[in-house]
Amino acid sequence: MVNERKRSTTVKLVSEMRREQMRTRKRNKGDDMPEEKLGCRISLHFSSSLRERLLKDREMIVMKKHLVKLPAKFCCETVFSDFILHERHSNSVHLANGVSLDMVSGLRTYFNHRFVVELLYKAELPQVRNYTDGKTVFSELYGAEHLLRLLTTIGRLLPAKEFCELSYAILQEHFQRLIDFIDAFRDKYLSPDNYIPAQP
């Protein structure tokens, strides 16, 4: 029963993310639609090492005028695949009941359709314009640096009244597992070699 509830929650998350995609498209067409009130009922833990990488990421982009090299050596899709493989090797019940796959699907949707709005520093906008041809799949282009940025904001991106308290707790658990996975392999995914000087 609990597993069914967990899967239902993550399926609902995917559905909400897809609805958000449609709302974003309508706003981009000029429709006068009010912004939803977003809640922050998810509290995720980032280790001191990950917080340091996030600060370093900002320093590289904003202060040192560098950019993440594209396409990323390990794009988000690679991170997602590695995470699912890790779940499989650890015989995770979350993978067996489909929750991990649903979570990844939901994060992929948010990443690809809220990307420019939520995840880029101003200095990164000229770079991304080289890839916005209507066919770009950002999760195949950008890597763990930007995925980590998404995970720091995911709590306020979820509509405040969309889920019950138990559902928020379930989502928090699954997001935290992905964060912990990235943390365990941070030297692989979050290397200083991922940055290059920005072109003048």
Contacts 24+ apart (CB under 8 A), 27-36: 36/159
Separation of alpha carbons 71 and 79, rounded Å: 14
Is the pLDDT score of 80 beyond 90? yes
- Which residues are CB-contacts of 70 (< 8 A; sequence separation ≥ 6)? 127, 131, 141, 142
Radius of gyration (C-alpha) of the chain in whole angstroms = 17
Cα separation, 144 vs 119, in Å, equals 12
**Whole-number pLDDT of residue 161:** 65
The CA angle 29-33-36, to the nearest 5 degrees, is 125
Residues 140/146/152/153 CA torsion (nearest 10 deg): -70
pLDDT at 8: 54
Q: Which residues 6+ apart lie within 8 Å of 52 measured at CB? A: none
Which element (helix H / strand E) includes 38? none
pLDDT in tens, 87-143: 888 877 767 667 778 889 989 998 998 777 778 999 999 999 888 777 889 999 999
- Global confidence as pTM: 0.77
31 Cα distance to chain centroid:
26
- Between these two residues, 62 and 11, which has the higher pLDDT value? 62
The pLDDT score that the predictor gives to residue 130 is 86
- The pLDDT score that the predictor gives to residue 30 is 37
On the question of pLDDT at 24 being above 50, the answer is no
pLDDT higher than threshold 60 for residue 41 = yes
Determine the pLDDT at residue 59: 97
C-alpha angle with apex 145: 140 to 146, nearest 5 degrees? 60
Answer yes or no: are the C-beta atoms of 183 and 56 closer than 8 Å.
Answer: no
